[in-house]
Amino acid sequence: MSVPPIAQLRAPAAWGAVDVLSDLHLHVSEPGTFDAWRRYLRGTPADAVFILGDLFEVWVGDDAAAQPGFAADCAAVIKETARQRAIFFMHGNRDFLVGRGFLQSCGGELLSDPTVLEFAGRRWLLTHGDALCLADTEYMRFRGEVRAPAWQQDFLSKPLAERQQIARKLREQSEARKRSGVDYPDVDSAAAVAWLEAADAQVLIHGHTHRPADHELGSRRRIVLSDWDAASTPPRLEILRLTAGGAQRVALP
């Protein structure tokens, strides 16, 4: 596997703390997680928030946020946050249709996947994580199809109601697959090390797999972010906070 181009982002010297999170899968049917996300963004002491994909369970196009509804409510939260701190977003496998223009209109910034964040004297390699799950060949084929500009142009040309119906069917299929107990492949360790070496980074941070853990990769490390679910017992509401002291998992109340 070839290593993709790696973007670079140098944090301002004034930043003292950075929060990293992913896989909130915000959806109108899960109001508790939405409320927890909004409450967290209003209260976090971080100077910047990095969302590494799958903020939304589904995103059928930026025009969905132009009318009253859940997408517009999410946009309002991003706008409110951007007035207080920097907010960055990276595409996931559920919300790869979020547009740069939409984020800019909300005061946010779109991150390339992967991106090296230079912060607190370290180089942190950030990615959603799906591109490293090489053994999930079915998904990798799907990913290649839907990330193609021609496919996206064709999909976005459909009426909003039709796109929403397609998204509902895809979500139903995904939920049925999860209920079947299928075992999703994890990140390929050799590929992760190759990315880290190419980025000259010591730590890889990603989501996607919903398997929060810290993995040692020789002299390097892979940190997996938790997904969010306010309705689970106990609730899964966790961010990773980066400071000069390193990386710390923070469970939100």
The pTM (predicted TM-score) of the whole model is: 0.96
The reply to whether CATH 3.60.21.10 applies to domain 7-251 is: yes
pLDDT at 4 over 70: yes
Domain ranges of the chain: 7-251
Angle, helices 70-82/31-43, rounded to nearest 10 degrees: 10
Instruction: Write out pLDDT tens, residues 162-214.
Output: 999 999 998 888 888 777 777 889 999 999 999 999 999 999 999 999 999 99
Burial class (CB in 10 A: 0-12, 13-18, 19+), 211: middle
Tell me the β-bridge partners of 224.
Answer: 206, 213
How far is residue 94's CA from residue 83's CA, in Å, rounded to a whole number?
A: 26
